[in-house]
Structure 1
Protein backbone atom coordinates (compact mmCIF):
# COMPACT_ATOMS: atom_id res chain seq x y z
CA UNK A 1 0.00 0.00 0.00
CA UNK A 2 1.27 3.46 -0.90
CA UNK A 3 1.26 6.36 1.52
CA UNK A 4 1.33 10.09 0.81
CA UNK A 5 3.78 12.46 2.45
CA UNK A 6 1.12 13.52 4.96
CA UNK A 7 0.23 9.88 5.76
CA UNK A 8 3.90 8.95 6.15
CA UNK A 9 4.45 11.85 8.57
CA UNK A 10 1.41 10.80 10.63
CA UNK A 11 2.61 7.20 10.70
CA UNK A 12 6.03 8.25 11.98
CA UNK A 13 4.60 10.77 14.46
CA UNK A 14 6.51 13.68 12.97
CA UNK A 15 6.06 16.65 10.67
CA UNK A 16 6.18 16.56 6.87
CA UNK A 17 9.28 18.75 7.05
CA UNK A 18 11.01 16.10 9.18
CA UNK A 19 10.10 13.40 6.66
CA UNK A 20 11.63 15.48 3.87
CA UNK A 21 14.78 15.92 5.93
CA UNK A 22 14.99 12.15 6.49
CA UNK A 23 14.58 11.58 2.75
CA UNK A 24 17.47 13.92 2.02
CA UNK A 25 19.84 12.92 4.82
CA UNK A 26 18.82 9.57 6.32
CA UNK A 27 17.90 7.45 3.32
CA UNK A 28 14.15 7.24 3.96
CA UNK A 29 12.91 5.21 0.95
CA UNK A 30 10.43 6.98 -1.31
CA UNK A 31 9.39 7.39 -4.94
CA UNK A 32 8.63 10.77 -6.46
CA UNK A 33 6.00 10.83 -9.18
CA UNK A 34 4.59 13.99 -10.68
CA UNK A 35 6.28 16.07 -8.01
CA UNK A 36 4.65 14.08 -5.18
CA UNK A 37 6.32 11.67 -2.77
CA UNK A 38 4.94 8.15 -2.37
CA UNK A 39 5.97 5.67 0.33
CA UNK A 40 5.70 1.90 0.51
CA UNK A 41 4.24 0.87 3.88
CA UNK A 42 6.57 -2.13 4.34
CA UNK A 43 9.68 -0.13 3.42
CA UNK A 44 8.62 2.67 5.75
CA UNK A 45 8.21 0.19 8.60
CA UNK A 46 11.62 -1.39 7.97
CA UNK A 47 13.32 2.00 7.88
CA UNK A 48 11.59 3.14 11.09
CA UNK A 49 12.57 0.01 12.99
CA UNK A 50 16.19 0.20 11.79
CA UNK A 51 16.43 3.83 12.94
CA UNK A 52 14.57 3.34 16.23
CA UNK A 53 11.78 5.70 15.21
CA UNK A 54 8.21 5.25 16.43
CA UNK A 55 5.50 4.15 14.02
CA UNK A 56 2.42 4.37 16.22
CA UNK A 57 -0.12 4.97 13.51
CA UNK A 58 1.10 2.03 11.46
CA UNK A 59 0.70 -0.26 14.42
CA UNK A 60 -2.75 1.10 15.23
CA UNK A 61 -4.08 0.86 11.69
CA UNK A 62 -3.05 -2.75 11.14
CA UNK A 63 -5.11 -5.52 12.67
CA UNK A 64 -4.13 -9.17 12.23
CA UNK A 65 -6.30 -10.97 9.67
CA UNK A 66 -6.03 -14.06 11.83
CA UNK A 67 -5.26 -13.39 15.46
CA UNK A 68 -2.97 -15.74 17.35
CA UNK A 69 -4.07 -17.33 20.60
CA UNK A 70 -3.33 -15.25 23.69
CA UNK A 71 -0.50 -16.31 25.96
CA UNK A 72 -1.38 -18.13 29.15
CA UNK A 73 -1.43 -15.85 32.17
CA UNK A 74 -2.03 -12.68 30.14
CA UNK A 75 -4.81 -10.50 31.50
CA UNK A 76 -6.07 -9.87 27.98
CA UNK A 77 -5.36 -11.13 24.49
CA UNK A 78 -2.07 -9.94 23.02
CA UNK A 79 -1.21 -10.41 19.36
CA UNK A 80 2.49 -10.01 20.10
CA UNK A 81 2.55 -12.46 23.02
CA UNK A 82 0.45 -14.91 21.03
CA UNK A 83 2.87 -14.82 18.11
CA UNK A 84 5.85 -15.25 20.44
CA UNK A 85 4.16 -18.18 22.11
CA UNK A 86 3.42 -19.77 18.73
CA UNK A 87 7.02 -19.28 17.55
CA UNK A 88 8.70 -20.18 20.81
CA UNK A 89 12.25 -19.72 22.04
CA UNK A 90 15.29 -21.41 20.51
CA UNK A 91 18.18 -21.15 22.96
CA UNK A 92 21.86 -22.07 22.99
CA UNK A 93 22.16 -22.02 19.19
CA UNK A 94 25.72 -22.89 18.21
CA UNK A 95 27.43 -20.76 15.60
CA UNK A 96 29.48 -17.61 15.39
CA UNK A 97 27.99 -16.25 12.17
CA UNK A 98 24.57 -14.94 11.21
CA UNK A 99 23.98 -17.61 8.52
CA UNK A 100 24.56 -20.37 11.09
CA UNK A 101 22.08 -18.85 13.53
CA UNK A 102 19.46 -18.15 10.87
CA UNK A 103 19.83 -21.67 9.49
CA UNK A 104 18.81 -23.06 12.89
CA UNK A 105 15.90 -20.61 13.02
CA UNK A 106 14.63 -21.63 9.58
CA UNK A 107 14.78 -25.31 10.51
CA UNK A 108 12.63 -24.55 13.56
CA UNK A 109 10.12 -22.49 11.56
CA UNK A 110 9.90 -25.01 8.71
CA UNK A 111 9.95 -28.44 10.36
CA UNK A 112 9.53 -31.69 8.49
CA UNK A 113 5.83 -32.56 8.23
CA UNK A 114 4.34 -35.94 7.26
CA UNK A 115 7.64 -37.03 5.79
CA UNK A 116 7.70 -34.01 3.48
CA UNK A 117 11.20 -32.86 2.58
CA UNK A 118 11.32 -29.09 3.07
CA UNK A 119 15.02 -28.65 2.39
CA UNK A 120 14.48 -26.64 -0.79
CA UNK A 121 12.00 -24.36 1.00
CA UNK A 122 14.43 -23.90 3.86
CA UNK A 123 17.29 -23.02 1.53
CA UNK A 124 15.16 -20.43 -0.28
CA UNK A 125 13.97 -18.88 2.98
CA UNK A 126 17.51 -18.68 4.35
CA UNK A 127 18.73 -17.11 1.11
CA UNK A 128 15.99 -14.48 1.31
CA UNK A 129 16.85 -13.59 4.90
CA UNK A 130 20.55 -13.33 4.14
CA UNK A 131 19.92 -11.29 1.00
CA UNK A 132 17.92 -8.81 3.07
CA UNK A 133 20.76 -8.49 5.55
CA UNK A 134 23.21 -7.95 2.69
CA UNK A 135 21.27 -4.89 1.51
CA UNK A 136 21.02 -3.37 4.97
CA UNK A 137 21.55 -4.75 8.47
CA UNK A 138 18.36 -4.87 10.50
CA UNK A 139 20.01 -4.75 13.91
CA UNK A 140 17.95 -2.42 16.08
CA UNK A 141 20.66 -1.88 18.66
CA UNK A 142 21.01 -2.92 22.25
CA UNK A 143 22.02 -6.46 21.30
CA UNK A 144 18.86 -7.22 19.29
CA UNK A 145 18.51 -8.23 15.64
CA UNK A 146 15.21 -8.41 13.72
CA UNK A 147 15.96 -9.91 10.30
CA UNK A 148 13.00 -9.72 7.93
CA UNK A 149 12.67 -9.78 4.19
CA UNK A 150 11.31 -7.00 1.98
CA UNK A 151 8.98 -9.68 0.66
CA UNK A 152 7.85 -10.98 4.10
CA UNK A 153 8.27 -14.60 5.13
CA UNK A 154 4.77 -15.94 4.43
CA UNK A 155 4.26 -19.41 5.81
CA UNK A 156 1.85 -21.33 8.04
CA UNK A 157 -1.62 -20.47 9.24
CA UNK A 158 -0.69 -18.45 12.31
CA UNK A 159 1.61 -15.47 12.90
CA UNK A 160 4.79 -16.58 14.66
CA UNK A 161 7.80 -14.85 16.13
CA UNK A 162 10.75 -17.08 16.93
CA UNK A 163 13.15 -15.72 19.54
CA UNK A 164 16.64 -17.13 18.97
CA UNK A 165 19.47 -16.94 21.48
CA UNK A 166 22.96 -17.67 20.11
CA UNK A 167 25.14 -19.73 22.43
CA UNK A 168 27.58 -16.81 22.37
CA UNK A 169 26.79 -13.22 21.28
CA UNK A 170 27.47 -12.67 17.59
CA UNK A 171 30.61 -10.52 17.24
CA UNK A 172 30.68 -7.24 15.38
CA UNK A 173 32.73 -8.91 12.65
CA UNK A 174 29.71 -11.14 11.96
CA UNK A 175 26.91 -8.59 12.37
CA UNK A 176 27.76 -4.86 12.40
CA UNK A 177 25.36 -3.01 14.70
CA UNK A 178 24.46 0.69 14.98
CA UNK A 179 25.73 0.91 18.56
CA UNK A 180 28.68 -1.53 18.27
CA UNK A 181 27.07 -4.03 20.64
CA UNK A 182 27.26 -7.75 19.79
CA UNK A 183 23.95 -9.43 18.96
CA UNK A 184 22.50 -11.42 21.88
CA UNK A 185 18.94 -12.04 20.66
CA UNK A 186 17.43 -12.53 17.21
CA UNK A 187 13.72 -12.28 16.37
CA UNK A 188 12.51 -14.01 13.18
CA UNK A 189 8.97 -13.34 11.97
CA UNK A 190 6.80 -15.75 9.96
CA UNK A 191 3.27 -14.71 9.00
CA UNK A 192 0.33 -16.10 6.99
CA UNK A 193 -0.21 -12.75 5.20
CA UNK A 194 1.65 -9.55 4.44
CA UNK A 195 -0.83 -7.64 6.59
CA UNK A 196 -0.15 -9.88 9.59
CA UNK A 197 3.60 -9.46 9.01
CA UNK A 198 3.35 -5.67 9.12
CA UNK A 199 1.18 -5.84 12.22
CA UNK A 200 3.70 -7.96 14.11
CA UNK A 201 6.60 -5.86 12.89
CA UNK A 202 4.95 -2.72 14.27
CA UNK A 203 4.07 -4.35 17.59
CA UNK A 204 7.56 -5.82 18.02
CA UNK A 205 9.19 -2.49 17.22
CA UNK A 206 7.05 -0.77 19.85
CA UNK A 207 7.72 -3.49 22.44
CA UNK A 208 11.48 -3.29 21.92
CA UNK A 209 11.32 0.32 23.08
CA UNK A 210 9.80 -0.88 26.38
CA UNK A 211 12.47 -1.25 29.06
CA UNK A 212 10.82 -4.19 30.82
CA UNK A 213 10.35 -6.20 27.64
CA UNK A 214 13.92 -5.57 26.49
CA UNK A 215 15.23 -6.53 29.90
CA UNK A 216 13.23 -9.77 29.87
CA UNK A 217 14.57 -10.62 26.42
CA UNK A 218 18.21 -9.73 27.01
CA UNK A 219 18.33 -11.38 30.44
CA UNK A 220 16.97 -14.57 28.85
CA UNK A 221 14.10 -14.65 31.32
CA UNK A 222 11.80 -17.69 31.33
CA UNK A 223 9.50 -17.83 28.32
CA UNK A 224 6.42 -17.16 30.46
CA UNK A 225 8.01 -13.95 31.79
CA UNK A 226 8.85 -12.79 28.26
CA UNK A 227 5.26 -13.40 27.15
CA UNK A 228 3.86 -11.42 30.07
CA UNK A 229 6.28 -8.56 29.38
CA UNK A 230 5.25 -8.59 25.70
CA UNK A 231 1.57 -8.42 26.58
CA UNK A 232 2.17 -5.57 29.03
CA UNK A 233 4.25 -3.63 26.49
CA UNK A 234 1.54 -4.03 23.86
CA UNK A 235 -1.17 -2.78 26.24
CA UNK A 236 0.92 0.25 27.17
CA UNK A 237 1.61 1.00 23.52
CA UNK A 238 -2.05 0.77 22.59
CA UNK A 239 -3.06 2.98 25.51
CA UNK A 240 -0.48 5.61 24.53
CA UNK A 241 -1.47 5.46 20.86
CA UNK A 242 -5.23 5.60 21.37
CA UNK A 243 -5.49 9.42 21.59
CA UNK A 244 -3.54 9.72 18.32
CA UNK A 245 -5.62 7.32 16.26
CA UNK A 246 -6.90 8.86 13.09
CA UNK A 247 -10.66 8.89 12.75
CA UNK A 248 -12.39 7.85 9.49
Structure 2
Protein backbone atom coordinates (compact mmCIF):
# COMPACT_ATOMS: atom_id res chain seq x y z
CA UNK A 1 0.00 0.00 0.00
CA UNK A 2 1.90 3.05 -1.23
CA UNK A 3 0.93 6.64 -0.50
CA UNK A 4 0.09 8.62 -3.59
CA UNK A 5 -0.92 11.99 -2.16
CA UNK A 6 0.30 13.82 0.94
CA UNK A 7 -1.16 16.96 2.46
CA UNK A 8 0.02 19.05 5.40
CA UNK A 9 -2.62 20.87 7.44
CA UNK A 10 -1.95 23.91 9.60
CA UNK A 11 -4.50 25.91 11.56
CA UNK A 12 -5.24 28.61 14.12
CA UNK A 13 -2.23 30.92 13.94
CA UNK A 14 -3.86 33.84 15.82
CA UNK A 15 -1.34 36.42 14.64
CA UNK A 16 -1.10 40.06 15.69
CA UNK A 17 0.01 43.17 13.81
CA UNK A 18 3.53 42.75 15.23
CA UNK A 19 5.87 39.77 15.06
CA UNK A 20 6.37 39.90 18.84
CA UNK A 21 2.65 39.55 19.62
CA UNK A 22 1.89 37.01 22.35
CA UNK A 23 -1.18 34.78 22.54
CA UNK A 24 -1.50 33.24 26.02
CA UNK A 25 2.25 33.72 26.39
CA UNK A 26 3.26 32.22 23.04
CA UNK A 27 5.02 34.12 20.26
CA UNK A 28 2.59 33.02 17.60
CA UNK A 29 4.48 34.46 14.62
CA UNK A 30 7.63 32.60 15.64
CA UNK A 31 5.56 29.44 16.08
CA UNK A 32 4.12 29.75 12.58
CA UNK A 33 7.57 30.24 11.03
CA UNK A 34 8.88 27.21 12.92
CA UNK A 35 5.98 25.02 11.79
CA UNK A 36 6.42 26.04 8.15
CA UNK A 37 10.15 25.28 8.35
CA UNK A 38 9.41 21.89 9.92
CA UNK A 39 6.99 20.95 7.16
CA UNK A 40 9.36 22.08 4.42
CA UNK A 41 12.40 20.31 5.87
CA UNK A 42 10.84 17.06 7.10
CA UNK A 43 7.88 16.22 4.85
CA UNK A 44 7.57 15.75 1.11
CA UNK A 45 3.97 16.92 0.70
CA UNK A 46 1.99 17.78 -2.41
CA UNK A 47 -0.04 20.62 -0.87
CA UNK A 48 -0.57 22.58 2.33
CA UNK A 49 -4.04 23.53 3.57
CA UNK A 50 -4.63 26.23 6.18
CA UNK A 51 -7.95 25.70 7.97
CA UNK A 52 -8.60 29.08 9.50
CA UNK A 53 -7.90 31.79 12.07
CA UNK A 54 -4.95 33.71 10.72
CA UNK A 55 -5.63 36.65 12.99
CA UNK A 56 -6.19 37.33 16.66
CA UNK A 57 -6.35 41.13 16.62
CA UNK A 58 -8.25 41.38 13.29
CA UNK A 59 -5.62 43.71 11.84
CA UNK A 60 -4.77 43.75 8.14
CA UNK A 61 -1.11 43.59 9.16
CA UNK A 62 -1.67 40.15 10.70
CA UNK A 63 -2.72 38.84 7.27
CA UNK A 64 0.35 40.44 5.73
CA UNK A 65 2.57 38.77 8.32
CA UNK A 66 1.00 35.39 7.52
CA UNK A 67 1.82 35.90 3.84
CA UNK A 68 5.32 37.08 4.79
CA UNK A 69 5.97 33.92 6.81
CA UNK A 70 4.83 31.65 3.99
CA UNK A 71 6.70 33.51 1.24
CA UNK A 72 9.92 33.69 3.28
CA UNK A 73 9.70 29.94 3.97
CA UNK A 74 10.26 29.38 0.21
CA UNK A 75 7.44 26.84 0.14
CA UNK A 76 6.62 26.36 -3.54
CA UNK A 77 3.82 23.77 -3.45
CA UNK A 78 0.14 24.87 -3.68
CA UNK A 79 -1.09 26.47 -0.45
CA UNK A 80 -4.88 26.44 -0.01
CA UNK A 81 -6.86 28.22 2.69
CA UNK A 82 -10.18 28.55 4.52
CA UNK A 83 -11.61 31.26 6.76
CA UNK A 84 -11.86 30.71 10.49
CA UNK A 85 -14.30 32.49 12.79
CA UNK A 86 -11.67 35.23 13.43
CA UNK A 87 -11.01 35.84 9.73
CA UNK A 88 -12.56 38.09 7.11
CA UNK A 89 -13.08 36.44 3.73
CA UNK A 90 -12.28 39.58 1.76
CA UNK A 91 -8.98 40.07 3.60
CA UNK A 92 -7.99 36.47 3.01
CA UNK A 93 -8.57 36.82 -0.72
CA UNK A 94 -6.91 40.25 -0.79
CA UNK A 95 -3.65 39.24 0.82
CA UNK A 96 -3.39 35.50 0.06
CA UNK A 97 -3.23 36.33 -3.64
CA UNK A 98 0.45 35.73 -4.41
CA UNK A 99 2.28 32.42 -5.01
CA UNK A 100 2.11 29.83 -3.55
CA UNK A 101 -1.45 30.64 -2.41
CA UNK A 102 -4.41 29.19 -4.30
CA UNK A 103 -7.98 30.32 -3.53
CA UNK A 104 -9.65 27.25 -5.10
CA UNK A 105 -11.75 25.23 -2.63
CA UNK A 106 -11.57 21.91 -4.51
CA UNK A 107 -8.43 20.22 -5.75
CA UNK A 108 -7.81 16.76 -7.12
CA UNK A 109 -5.40 13.92 -7.42
CA UNK A 110 -6.00 10.92 -9.67
CA UNK A 111 -7.73 9.05 -6.83
CA UNK A 112 -8.67 11.80 -4.35
CA UNK A 113 -10.80 14.92 -4.25
CA UNK A 114 -10.04 17.43 -1.49
CA UNK A 115 -12.97 19.72 -0.64
CA UNK A 116 -12.55 22.84 1.52
CA UNK A 117 -15.92 23.61 3.08
CA UNK A 118 -16.72 27.06 4.47
CA UNK A 119 -18.17 27.08 8.00
CA UNK A 120 -17.71 30.75 8.93
CA UNK A 121 -20.87 32.46 10.21
CA UNK A 122 -21.76 35.84 11.69
CA UNK A 123 -20.89 34.52 15.16
CA UNK A 124 -17.97 32.49 16.54
CA UNK A 125 -20.10 29.38 15.99
CA UNK A 126 -19.84 27.48 12.75
CA UNK A 127 -22.51 27.12 10.10
CA UNK A 128 -22.43 25.34 6.75
CA UNK A 129 -25.34 26.99 4.97
CA UNK A 130 -27.97 25.00 3.07
CA UNK A 131 -26.70 26.53 -0.17
CA UNK A 132 -23.13 25.45 0.65
CA UNK A 133 -24.32 21.94 1.51
CA UNK A 134 -26.23 21.79 -1.77
CA UNK A 135 -23.18 23.02 -3.70
CA UNK A 136 -21.06 20.45 -1.91
CA UNK A 137 -23.39 17.64 -3.01
CA UNK A 138 -23.11 18.79 -6.60
CA UNK A 139 -19.30 18.67 -6.69
CA UNK A 140 -18.65 15.33 -4.95
CA UNK A 141 -17.04 13.00 -7.49
CA UNK A 142 -18.23 9.48 -6.76
CA UNK A 143 -15.35 8.05 -8.79
CA UNK A 144 -12.83 9.41 -6.27
CA UNK A 145 -12.30 9.32 -2.52
CA UNK A 146 -12.94 12.55 -0.60
CA UNK A 147 -11.21 14.29 2.29
CA UNK A 148 -13.34 17.19 3.55
CA UNK A 149 -11.52 20.05 5.29
CA UNK A 150 -13.20 22.80 7.35
CA UNK A 151 -12.61 25.15 10.28
CA UNK A 152 -15.31 24.34 12.85
CA UNK A 153 -15.68 20.91 14.41
CA UNK A 154 -18.83 18.98 13.41
CA UNK A 155 -18.66 16.65 16.44
CA UNK A 156 -18.48 17.75 20.07
CA UNK A 157 -15.04 17.35 21.65
CA UNK A 158 -16.08 17.64 25.30
CA UNK A 159 -14.59 20.94 26.44
CA UNK A 160 -15.37 24.67 26.33
CA UNK A 161 -14.85 25.12 22.57
CA UNK A 162 -18.05 23.15 21.94
CA UNK A 163 -20.01 26.35 22.62
CA UNK A 164 -18.46 27.62 19.38
CA UNK A 165 -18.75 24.41 17.36
CA UNK A 166 -20.78 23.72 14.24
CA UNK A 167 -24.40 24.75 14.82
CA UNK A 168 -26.04 22.53 12.22
CA UNK A 169 -24.28 19.26 12.93
CA UNK A 170 -27.32 17.13 12.07
CA UNK A 171 -27.76 18.68 8.62
CA UNK A 172 -24.04 18.47 7.97
CA UNK A 173 -23.87 14.74 8.73
CA UNK A 174 -27.06 14.03 6.78
CA UNK A 175 -25.26 15.39 3.74
CA UNK A 176 -21.96 13.63 4.46
CA UNK A 177 -23.70 10.30 5.03
CA UNK A 178 -25.07 10.33 1.48
CA UNK A 179 -21.62 9.60 0.08
CA UNK A 180 -19.67 6.42 0.78
CA UNK A 181 -16.74 7.97 -1.07
CA UNK A 182 -16.12 10.46 1.77
CA UNK A 183 -13.36 8.89 3.85
CA UNK A 184 -12.64 11.53 6.50
CA UNK A 185 -13.30 15.04 7.79
CA UNK A 186 -10.59 17.27 9.23
CA UNK A 187 -10.95 20.62 10.98
CA UNK A 188 -9.16 23.26 12.99
CA UNK A 189 -10.65 25.44 15.74
CA UNK A 190 -10.25 23.06 18.70
CA UNK A 191 -6.49 23.59 19.26
CA UNK A 192 -5.91 19.89 19.88
CA UNK A 193 -4.95 16.80 17.87
CA UNK A 194 -7.95 14.50 18.30
CA UNK A 195 -9.51 11.63 16.37
CA UNK A 196 -13.27 11.20 16.76
CA UNK A 197 -15.78 9.11 14.82
CA UNK A 198 -19.25 9.73 13.47
CA UNK A 199 -22.05 7.45 14.63
CA UNK A 200 -22.80 6.13 11.17
CA UNK A 201 -21.74 2.68 9.94
CA UNK A 202 -19.02 2.56 8.85
CA UNK A 203 -17.94 5.44 11.05
CA UNK A 204 -16.22 8.37 9.36
CA UNK A 205 -13.20 9.72 11.26
CA UNK A 206 -12.96 13.36 12.26
CA UNK A 207 -9.37 14.52 12.66
CA UNK A 208 -8.70 17.81 14.42
CA UNK A 209 -5.57 19.82 13.72
CA UNK A 210 -3.31 21.10 16.46
CA UNK A 211 -2.76 24.85 16.33
CA UNK A 212 0.40 26.63 15.31
CA UNK A 213 -0.35 29.07 18.15
CA UNK A 214 -1.24 27.21 21.38
CA UNK A 215 -2.89 23.95 22.36
CA UNK A 216 -5.89 24.44 24.61
CA UNK A 217 -6.01 23.20 28.20
CA UNK A 218 -9.14 21.06 27.98
CA UNK A 219 -9.68 21.29 31.74
CA UNK A 220 -10.27 25.04 31.61
CA UNK A 221 -13.59 26.78 31.00
CA UNK A 222 -12.06 29.24 28.51
CA UNK A 223 -9.02 29.49 26.23
CA UNK A 224 -5.71 28.82 27.96
CA UNK A 225 -2.50 27.07 26.92
CA UNK A 226 -1.70 23.59 28.14
CA UNK A 227 2.01 24.31 27.66
CA UNK A 228 2.43 22.12 24.59
CA UNK A 229 4.34 23.44 21.58
CA UNK A 230 2.92 24.36 18.16
CA UNK A 231 1.71 21.57 15.90
CA UNK A 232 0.34 20.47 12.55
CA UNK A 233 -0.98 17.38 10.75
CA UNK A 234 0.16 15.39 7.74
CA UNK A 235 -2.24 13.18 5.75
CA UNK A 236 -1.09 10.28 3.60
CA UNK A 237 -3.85 9.34 1.15
CA UNK A 238 -3.72 5.92 -0.47
CA UNK A 239 -5.15 4.67 -3.74
CA UNK A 240 -7.61 2.33 -1.99
CA UNK A 241 -9.20 5.10 0.10
CA UNK A 242 -7.23 4.48 3.26
CA UNK A 243 -5.89 7.45 5.23
CA UNK A 244 -2.92 7.72 7.55
CA UNK A 245 -2.79 10.91 9.60
CA UNK A 246 -0.03 11.92 11.98
CA UNK A 247 0.23 14.94 14.26
CA UNK A 248 3.55 16.64 14.88
CA UNK A 249 4.48 18.98 17.70
CA UNK A 250 7.52 21.21 17.99
CA UNK A 251 9.39 21.49 21.24
CA UNK A 252 8.33 24.60 23.12
CA UNK A 253 11.25 26.96 23.55
Interval of TM-score (by shorter of Structure 1 and Structure 2): under 0.3
So what's the TM-score if we normalise by structure 1?
0.27
Richer in strand (by share): 2
Instruction: Give TM-score scaled by structure 2 length.
Output: 0.27
Whichever of the two has the greater Rg, that structure is: 1
